[in-house]
Chains A and B, each alone.
Chain A
Amino acid sequence: DQQVKQNSPSLSVQEGRISILNCDYTNSMFDYFLWYKKYPAEGPTFLISISSIKDKNEDGRFTVFLNKSAKHLSLHIVPSQPGDSAVYFCAASARETSGSRLTFGEGTQLTVNP
């Protein structure tokens, strides 16, 4: 069963506009969430995270929102830039799991058009 789901395989936006990437989860034990960005032929790199005790975390152009009651998180990129074009993965972790293992979603391919 897919505990972390990203229902949009792809998203296309214009440069300068907002990109909103969505992620849903089913496991209520998840208490920490991360977003990773992946360029072709490179490994994923950490972007931003949020603990379940918060509902928002901001870092420059990137903001992550968490709605625990809906088991939903979203990543907002404002303004979007062509260099943001990449695959974005959301990931979740539960404190009681050993080794801080992460469960990843399927990924969303973001394309920012100039």
Chain B
Amino acid sequence: DVKVTQSSRYLVKRTGEKVFLECVQDMDHENMFWYRQDPGLGLRLIYFSYDVKMKEKGDIPEGYSVSREKKERFSLILESASTNQTSMYLCASSRRLAYEQYFGPGTRLTVT
């Protein structure tokens, strides 16, 4: 059974803070993804990685960076959090050539 876990379910940070969101998958998947979900906008891809130390920008990478030092772990970093980054953040993983992605439970981030 595929399991994707995220470090926090709820997080409250102040404007200007550096924020780390961690994601771990236990299925040896090559691909990992970070999305944010906002009402009326669906899921939008921030960054993804198809191998260790590899990363590619998604549709909305501005204000974010990522790190993938180990295959099972993919971190999303908000260098200086802003109120417009208040959102639900979802991590997902998939096998290299597979379309189906498996999602974690999400982190509800509030920036005040």
A105 contacts B42, CB within 8 Å? yes
Number of interface residues of B (CB under 8 A): 30
Residue of B nearest to A92 (CB): B99
Which of chain A's residues has its CB closest to B48's CB?
A: A99
- Nearest residue in B to A107 (C-beta to C-beta)? B42
Q: How many residues of A contact B (CB 8 A)?
A: 26
Give bound CA distance, A102 to B100, whole Å: 9
Residues of A close to B97: CB separation below 8 A: 100
Contact: B105 with A102, CB < 8 Å?
no
In chain B, positions 1-45 with a C-beta closer than 8 Å to chain A are 4, 9, 31, 33, 35, 40-45
Q: Mark A10-54, 1 if CB is under 8 A from B, else 0.
A: 000000000000000000000010101000011111100100000
Instruction: Tell me which of B44, B56, B102 contacts A104 (CB under 8 A).
Output: B44
Residue of B nearest to A51 (CB): B99
- Which B residues lie at the A interface, using CB under 8 A? 4, 9, 31, 33, 35, 40-45, 48-50, 56, 58, 90, 92, 94, 96-106
List chain A positions with a Cβ less than 8 A from chain B: 4, 6, 9, 32, 34, 36, 41-46, 49, 89, 91, 93, 98-107
